[in-house]
Amino acid sequence: MFRNALSQELNTNVFAQLIQDEPSGSSSDSSIEPEPSKGAIPKVSESAKSANNTTSDRTVPRDVPLVVLPPMKYLFTNPFLNEVELAFHTALSYADKDLQNRALAVIPKLKLENNAQNRLRKLQETAKEAKVSDFDYTLDDFLLPEVLDWFKNEFFKWVDSPDCQYCNGNTFFAHMSDDPSLLIHTNRVEMHKCHSCHRLTPFPRYNDVNILLLTRCGRCGEWANTFTLICCAMGWDARLIVDQTDHVWTEVFMHSQKRWLHCDPCENVCDTPLMYENGWGKQVSYVIAYSSEEVQDVTWRYSSNHKTVLRRRTKCTEKELVDALIKLRNERQRSSSKARVDYLTKRVLLELVELMCEKKASDKEKQGRTSGSELWRLMRGEIQPKIDSYVFVFKGNETETVRYSAALDKYECAKKDGSVSSVNGWHAGAFNMTGIFRKEEKDWKMVYLARAEGTDFGVISWKFEVEDATQVIDVVDVKLEHKLYENGKVEVTIESNATTIKMPENTVEFRTTAVSGSRFIVITARLSGGKGDVAWQHAQLFRQTSSSSDFAFIVKCSFKPVH
Q: Which residues are catalytic?
A: 220, 247, 264
- What is the spatial order of strands in the sheet that 482-484 belongs to? 436-441, 446-451, 539-545, 482-484
Query: Under a CB-based contact definition with an 8 Å cutoff, are residues 382 and 452 in contact?
Result: yes
Element (H, E) at 436: strand 436-441
Query: Under a CB-based contact definition with an 8 Å cutoff, are residues 402 and 555 in contact?
Result: yes
Q: Count Cα atoms within 13 angstroms, Cβ side, for 312.
A: 16
CA-to-CA dists, residue 443 to 20, 157, 161, 185, 348, angstroms: 52, 8, 14, 27, 40
Question: Which stretches of 268-337 are DSSP H helices?
Answer: 275-278, 306-312, 318-332
Residue type, 14: V
- Please, what is the angle between helix 318-332 and helix 2-19, to 10°? 30
Query: Under a CB-based contact definition with an 8 Å cutoff, are residues 454 and 367 in contact?
Result: yes
- Distance of alpha carbon 172 from alpha carbon 332, whole angstroms: 42
3-state secondary structure 90-124: HHHHHHCHHHHHHHHHCCCHHHHHHHHHHHHHHHH
Query: Under a CB-based contact definition with an 8 Å cutoff, are residues 436 and 449 in contact?
Result: yes
Q: Give bridge partners of residue 189 from the DSSP assignment.
A: 204
Q: Phi and psi for 248 in degrees, rounded to 5?
A: -140, 140
Query: Under a CB-based contact definition with an 8 Å cutoff, are residues 233 and 101 in contact?
Result: yes
Burial of 296 (0-12, 13-18, 19+ CB in 10 A): buried
